[in-house]
Amino acid sequence: RSEKTFKGFQAQVQASFSGSEGNAGRKLPNLRHGMSATIVGSEQSDTTQANALKAQMEDTGLLSGRLARGQTLETTAGNLDKRPVFEVASFTAESGTSGSNGRRMNAPAENKAIVVLFQPCGNTLQASVTQDRVRSALFSNNDNSFNQALSECSRGGSQFTGEVVGPIDGCPSSEDYFTTYEAIHALMTKDTRWQEARYKMMVLPSNWGGSIGVGTVGGGLTWYDERYVSDPVMYLHEVGHNWRLHHANGPYAYQEYQDTSSSMGYCCDMRCYNFLHSWQLGFSSYFRELSHSEILNSATGISLTIPALGSTAQSGVKILSDNSRSTDAYIVLSFRGTTGYDRHLIGTQYANKVQVSHWDGDNTQDAQPTHLLHTVARDQTILISDTDRVSSRLPTQLKMTVKSGSSSSSVDVLLCAKLLSDDENAPTPCSGGGATAPTTSTSTPPTSVLSEWSSYFESSPAGSSAPVAALGCKGQFCSSMRLRYRTDISFSTATGTRQEVAGDIGSAICQSSQVVTKVTCVNSGSGSGCTLVVECNSPTTGRLSGYQTEMSFFPGSLHATEDSSCPASAVLVGVRCASAQCGQKFLICEEYIAGGSTCVPHCSSLGWNCGDDGCGGSCGTCSSTGTQPSFCHANVGRCVQTGVSKWSSSSSNMSEPNLVASGMGCDGRYCESVQLYLLGISADASNFQKSAWISDNTGHRYLWNTGESAEDRIAECPTGTAITFVECSGKYCDNLQFHCAKPLQWKVGTDEPYVTGWFSEESPGRMDCPQGTVVTGVECQAVKTFCLTKCGDYCDNKRLRCRPIYPERTGAAILGVRTNLTSSVAPSPPASTSWWQDSWNTTKNVFSDLISKAGETASAVDGAQQSSLWWAAVFPLGWVMHNVNQ
């Protein structure tokens, strides 16, 4: 659905186009930027009829989001969106105002924005949505911020600066986005930051509006659901609309968002723009233009070497398509390697493939959808089929052969005419191609390879894991699920990764060469939906085809009971959530090609450089000595470097390392200097927050104390984050505050933390988290009042709170593993506790054992220290000699 609104009768009105099936995008007039038009119609004065039109114009995802809040369709239409409805009877573009003036629509190099955290009509934002967090997610230059992503996607050509304000409170007269903007504008209109900002970005509570993100096509207005402020691709997508980009679709108009190789496709995996969008923004250009007839008339075909889009700006091939409905339509070729900004495609179905796309625009200003027609791997030949955008593929008589090779920086392609003898599914290669046609198995595996359906579950399925072939659900928002498995596929337990969809919209898709072996529902119950989690592993025999299929949207109606199954020869590789609380979804399936009983090492397919290859061999080793000490992380097959930060003290703080801590060190009297022992795992700048200040007591103990006022004795990072930085305040680093962030492409467990023993500057002056965990909190021991020595002043004694981390990707695809540490981090050998050597399957068991011992350890330590207290008999002396706590 497309939102059309304008000022009419001195009020904001919503336009309903006759015959458009509720403003379905493919049924609307061909609107272009710069167009002037005459619109004839009338305001619908009948409230019942107006509400019916509003209901028809509701986007499916928006509607289900509102229904998730217990509202009915009638309530949604009648009370939330209170704008009048203007029924458009006719639409006539004025001559010469189509907007096709050829002006390049490059994204500006410098962009000024203001972000407003808005709380409408008593609806509050989550406590975690702070100015610090949003500022880091948008404007910092650290890993995974919007600014870092935009700089990468624009090849250094565009960046944002700006301010974050709020939360501010107001109450719009209607819940629609434009009325919400007007309410914010009224509150901010005298603020010079608002006046000067070209881009106005509004963050709203998740129970307001219903969409996860909205942007005006042109202009500078964007709105964001609070749950998605940590996704840089969300900003790339909505700001892309401001820059007049439309969505990245499949071959047909109804397959909106299907090209997930582009940030203008489905949310929320990090992607840059596809070639056409990159060209529209001025980040890329064509290196060759061809005509349809030129290729057909070539006796030997046309040979091309196409550079990789991610690392080469001049990288597109344009072919004027004679079979399109307009001479303004093009077929475009581009190569999506794994270099430059396309490093984000490593481990996806798009990596190292040629994309064949269709576009209806004729200049960079045209906000027309892109249509991905084919993705073609090396050593394959296809017949290029165009699209009518509605329901049919159109033959072009063109054929393309992608030659073999291994380079990620370019690919060799041959274009030629289709032969009369060519089979649709197995065309012969263009002359000199040396390639074969893609083959698709049509065999049906025997029914014995499929298990019976599991029982319905609301959290985790009973029994052991196996590759999943089908998923069914029932209940409120699909909250009860059941699974069916492929029993003929074995898998390696050493390669486990996990994906999750924490909001309404998003994808949980395994990386290439992996299959879904378990589906769970976290925080489920009471029909409230869940965070969908899939666990993935690599098959030990056979292989996947490399081409994914999206099954039909299910269940067909919200809260219905329905099953969805992969094709007979395929297996589940992911799930895409498409409405509130993942109440409706798509299965993502991929053909499994059996390979006998011979075990296939996963080193090459996953990009591992160390660890078990899954077949009893090794992918390589790492060195714990030298200038870059590292260890082999057994879950990801990568050498992870280890280091130590600079010291933080009351007089100076460490440089921000932007890495995740696995331990802490102390030095000096009362542990007056602290440092972090770090893993070579990047901190995610888009999910940055600060802890409270802590000390051995709360507040200022005495009137003359200096430094920050401690709020607690325990600093706990927000859920899903780990410590990356420590800041000191007061004498002897009495008060401490920690910066926390999500480890990039890792998940932090939500288990109860394991708590270490107490430590201070005394030898060894260091404490490390054990066995697969990182530091997620720090505790100061309470100061003792009646004592002469070892009183615990100035947070002298500390202990760590640790939680496990689990990889979202593995091997070469996990970009969160740093290849080099920053200059502010010194190399340091790994801790003596070999926590990294525990495999995926034993981490939870070991962690549970540690938890069970934690209480005993803490009690024993506290008990031993209690015996040294000086009681009432020496109270006066203890009071006089007690050091003043700063």
pLDDT tens across 418-427, in order? Answer: 999 988 888 9
194: pLDDT confidence band, cut at 50, 70 and 90? very high
483: pLDDT confidence band, cut at 50, 70 and 90? very high
Backbone φ and ψ for 16, nearest 5 degrees, come out as -115, 115
- The pTM assigned to this predicted structure is 0.84
**Tokens at residue 463, please?**
């029994």
Percentage of the chain exceeding pLDDT 90: 39
627: pLDDT confidence band, cut at 50, 70 and 90? confident
The owner of tokens 């969160």 is 816
pLDDT digits (tens, 9 = 90+) for 386-435: 888 888 888 889 999 999 888 889 999 999 999 999 888 889 999 865 55
C-beta separation of 29 from 91 below 8 A: yes
Backbone φ and ψ for 643, nearest 5 degrees, come out as -155, 180
C-beta separation of 740 from 685 below 8 A: no
C-beta separation of 693 from 713 below 8 A: no
Whole-number pLDDT of residue 59: 65
Q: Residue 189, class by beta-carbon neighbours within 10 Å (0-12 exposed, 13-18 middle, 19+ buried)?
A: exposed
581: pLDDT confidence band, cut at 50, 70 and 90? confident
Whole-number pLDDT of residue 149: 94
pLDDT of 861 above 60: no
Average confidence (pLDDT) over 182-209: 94
pLDDT digits (tens, 9 = 90+) for 92-128: 877 554 444 333 456 888 999 999 999 999 999 999 8
The two most distant CA atoms of the chain are separated, in Å, by 107
Tell me which residue of 544, 543, 541, 542 sits closest to 614, measured CA to CA: 541
DSSP string, 459-504: S--SS----EEEEEEESGGG-EEEEEEBTT--EEEEEEEEEEE-SS
C-beta separation of 729 from 650 below 8 A: yes
845: pLDDT confidence band, cut at 50, 70 and 90? very low
700: pLDDT confidence band, cut at 50, 70 and 90? very low
CA angle 23, 29, 34 (to 5 degrees): 115
DSSP string, 578-599: ESGGG-SEEEEEEEEE-BTB--
Of 15-24, 453-462, 630-639, 727-736, which range is least confident?
Answer: 15-24
Whole-number pLDDT of residue 793: 74
Of 359-368, 784-793, 852-861, which range is least confident?
Answer: 852-861
pLDDT digits (tens, 9 = 90+) for 820-834: 888 888 888 777 644
Q: Is the peptide bond before 657 cis (omega within 30 degrees of 0)?
A: no
C-beta separation of 461 from 534 below 8 A: no
- Per DSSP bridges, beta strands 746-748 and 714-716 are unpaired
519: pLDDT confidence band, cut at 50, 70 and 90? very high
Buried b (16+ CB within 10 A) or exposed e, 260-270: bbbbbbbbbbb
Give alpha helix (H) positions in 503-568: none
C-beta separation of 42 from 87 below 8 A: yes
pLDDT of 665 above 50: yes
Compute the distance between CA of residue 578 and CA of residue 26 in angstroms, rounded to an integer. Answer: 20
Of 130-139, 472-481, 641-650, 866-875, which range is least confident?
Answer: 866-875
Instruction: Determine the residue type at 236.
Output: L
Compute the distance between CA of residue 413 and CA of residue 317 in angstroms, rounded to an integer. Answer: 11
Whole-number pLDDT of residue 439: 46
Tell me which residue of 552, 554, 547 sits closest to 571, measured CA to CA: 547
Average confidence (pLDDT) over 580-595: 88
Compute the distance between CA of residue 114 and CA of residue 774 in angstroms, rounded to an integer. Answer: 35
Whole-number pLDDT of residue 158: 93
**Dihedral sign of CA atoms 412, 415, 416, 421 in order:** positive
Q: Residue 732, class by beta-carbon neighbours within 10 Å (0-12 exposed, 13-18 middle, 19+ buried)?
A: buried
Whole-number pLDDT of residue 431: 83
Q: Which residue has the higher pLDDT, 522 or 497?
A: 497
Whole-number pLDDT of residue 445: 44
**Tokens at residue 138, please?**
């948008």
Backbone φ and ψ for 288, nearest 5 degrees, come out as -155, 135
Residue 556, CA distances (Å) to 36, 184, 250, 560, 585 in order: 40, 37, 21, 7, 10
Average confidence (pLDDT) over 355-368: 84
Q: Residue 701, class by beta-carbon neighbours within 10 Å (0-12 exposed, 13-18 middle, 19+ buried)?
A: middle
Whole-number pLDDT of residue 867: 29
817: pLDDT confidence band, cut at 50, 70 and 90? very high
Beta-carbon contacts of 53 under 8 Å, excluding residues fewer than 6 positions away, are 16, 22, 44, 85, 87
Compute the distance between CA of residue 578 and CA of residue 750 in angstroms, rounded to an integer. Answer: 25
pLDDT digits (tens, 9 = 90+) for 320-338: 866 544 445 789 999 999 9
Whole-number pLDDT of residue 711: 60
Whole-number pLDDT of residue 192: 95
Tell me which residue of 58, 59, 62, 27 sits closest to 253, measured CA to CA: 27
pLDDT of 226 above 80: yes
